[in-house]
Amino acid sequence: MEQSLSRMGVWLDYLCLAQRRAWGRKPKGPITLHWPRAKLHVFKNPWRLYREIFLHECYRPLVPMGDAPRIVDIGANIGLASLYFLTRWPGAHLRAWEPNPSAFKLLSKNLPAERFPGATLEVEPIALSTASTTLDFDVPDVDPAAVYAGLTQVDRPRDHAKQVVSVTARDAAELFDEGADLLKMDIEGHEYAVFEHALPMASRVRSMAIEFHAAGRKMEQVKHITGRLIDEGGYRMTDCTGDWLEPDALEGRGGSLLLRFAGRDA
Q: 80: domain CATH number?
A: 3.40.50.150
Whether 34 has a pLDDT exceeding 60, the answer reads: yes
Q: What pLDDT, on a 0 to 100 scale, did the predictor assign at position 20? A: 83
Q: Which residue has the higher pLDDT, 9 or 134?
A: 134
For residues 225 and 195, the answer to whether their CB atoms sit within 8 Å is yes
Q: Mean pLDDT across the chain, nearest whole number?
A: 90
For residues 185 and 74, the answer to whether their CB atoms sit within 8 Å is yes
Please indicate, yes or no, if residue 123 is contained in any of the structural domains: yes
Whether 154 has a pLDDT exceeding 80, the answer reads: no
Please indicate, yes or no, if residue 176 is contained in any of the structural domains: yes
DSSP 64: -
Q: Which residue has the higher pLDDT, 8 or 220?
A: 220
Task: Please give the residue range of the domain that contains residue 121.
Answer: 62-263
Whether 231 has a pLDDT exceeding 70, the answer reads: yes
Comparing CA positions, the residue from 47, 111, 42, 40 lying closest to residue 73 is 111
* DSSP assignment string, 132-166: SEEEEEEEESS-TT-TT-EETTS-----S-EEEEE
Average pLDDT over residues 75-90: 95
Q: What pLDDT, on a 0 to 100 scale, did the predictor assign at position 25? A: 75
Query: Residue 68's pLDDT band (boundaries 50, 70, 90)?
Result: very high
* DSSP assignment string, 159-201: -S-EEEEEEEEEEHHHHHHH-BSEEEE--TTTHHHHHHH----
Please indicate, yes or no, if residue 57 is contained in any of the structural domains: no
For residues 83 and 110, the answer to whether their CB atoms sit within 8 Å is yes
User: pLDDT of 92-133, one tens digit each?
Assistant: 999 999 999 999 999 999 999 999 999 999 999 999 999 999
Please indicate, yes or no, if residue 248 is contained in any of the structural domains: yes
Please indicate, yes or no, if residue 124 is contained in any of the structural domains: yes
Query: Residue 143's pLDDT band (boundaries 50, 70, 90)?
Result: low
Q: What pLDDT, on a 0 to 100 scale, did the predictor assign at position 187? A: 94
Q: Which residue has the higher pLDDT, 128 or 6?
A: 128
CA dihedral 260, 235, 212, 3 (to 10 degrees): 20
Q: What pLDDT, on a 0 to 100 scale, did the predictor assign at position 29? A: 83
Number of domains in the chain: 1
Q: What pLDDT, on a 0 to 100 scale, did the predictor assign at position 144? A: 57
Alpha helices in the chain (DSSP H): 7-22, 47-50, 80-88, 101-110, 172-178, 191-197, 219-231
Please indicate, yes or no, if residue 43 is contained in any of the structural domains: no
CA 133 to chain centre: 22
Burial class for 221, CB neighbours closer than 10 Å (0-12, 13-18, 19+): middle
Counting residues of the chain whose pLDDT is more than 70, the rounded percentage is 91
Comparing CA positions, the residue from 108, 97, 19, 13 lying closest to residue 53 is 13
Q: Which residue has the higher pLDDT, 60 or 37?
A: 60
Please indicate, yes or no, if residue 17 is contained in any of the structural domains: no
Please indicate, yes or no, if residue 13 is contained in any of the structural domains: no
Q: What pLDDT, on a 0 to 100 scale, did the predictor assign at position 145? A: 55
Q: What pLDDT, on a 0 to 100 scale, did the predictor assign at position 157? A: 52
Q: What pLDDT, on a 0 to 100 scale, did the predictor assign at position 239? A: 94
Q: What pLDDT, on a 0 to 100 scale, did the predictor assign at position 3? A: 78
